[in-house]
Amino acid sequence: MRFDVITLFPEMFSAITDFGINRRALEKDLYALHCWNPRDFTADNYRTIDDRPYGGGPGMVMLPEPLLAAIEAAKVAQNQAGNLAPKVIYLSPQGQPLDQAAVKQLSACSGLVLLCGRYEGVDERVIKHSVDVEVSIGDYVLSGGELGAMVMMDSIIRQLPGALNHNLSAQQDSFEDGLLDCPHYTRPEDYRGMTVPDVLLSGNHAEIRRWRLKQALGRTWLRRPDLLDQRVLSKEEARLLSDFKSEHIT
Ligand SMILES: Nc1nonc1C(=O)N1CCN(Cc2ccccn2)CC1
């Protein structure tokens, strides 16, 4: 996976490249990241990348020329890397919500160009001319698209084969199967009088699997019932959820 990011603040992306799973995945060449600063595509001495909005109003809008030139340069680099039709994504509150299904779809792409806007946004002609899809990471307003791009990249990188020590981990991630995650415990068995559920100490892997599935179903029912609306339950899952509900003391 090659990411080409258009951003005024390339330094921010060290948060993705310098730590944990994402750092190891980069070192293993599971993905590549190239940042393009629109200021490098300006023709004036002040390296101007924004201007006042036509029609008046507060704030500034990012100019089309530097952005389109940066996007074109990123697409050429993608083409040279063998990705002939990289998807151009604009992070924006107006975008379609990012969910795990979208993450899995995007992780199958070989190259993505991510456009990070600032200020009041980018000139609409950039979106019409070069953006394939607008994506939002949530219904709130950030200071710019960079954190949204990093959230998207982080969730995609976890999907890349070899990124997680145990490939099963990705499948067990929350939302992977449309459910919230089950509770997790580690040592000690008794912490300040709070003990670990006996089943997890039993070594009975079939029972442990059933307990974890039941807890995931129960948690989803309690905290995000909307996710259950979208999910067909197996016979076993329906029974486990029914048991959880009857045991749940409100
Ligand atoms: N929510 C989000 N999910 O992705 N990005 C965001 C997000 O809040 N932002 C902040 C504003 N930026 C600039 C902007 C302003 C107005 C219209 C379009 N673009 C984009 C990125």
Whole-model pTM: value is 0.94
Q: What is the ipTM of this complex?
A: 0.97
For 243, list phi and psi in degrees, rounded to 5: -60, -40
In this predicted structure, what is the pLDDT of residue 173?
A: 63
Q: Among this protein's residues, is 158 annotated catalytic?
A: yes
Mean pLDDT of 180-197: 98
Least confident of 36-45, 170-179, 214-223: 170-179
Residue 92, CA distances (Å) to 74, 104, 123, 162, 227 in order: 19, 20, 13, 30, 24
pLDDT of amino acid 109: 97
- Mean pLDDT over residues 149-168, rounded? 91
pLDDT digits (tens, 9 = 90+) for 24-36: 999 999 999 999 9
Residue 92 beta carbon below 6 angstroms from any ligand 1 atom: yes
173 included as an active-site residue? yes
The rounded mean pLDDT for the chain is: 96
To the query of whether residue 38 is one of the catalytic residues in this protein, the response is: no
Is residue 169 pLDDT above 70, yes or no? Answer: no
Q: Is the CB of 136 under 6 A from ligand 1?
A: yes
Q: What is the pLDDT of residue 112?
A: 98
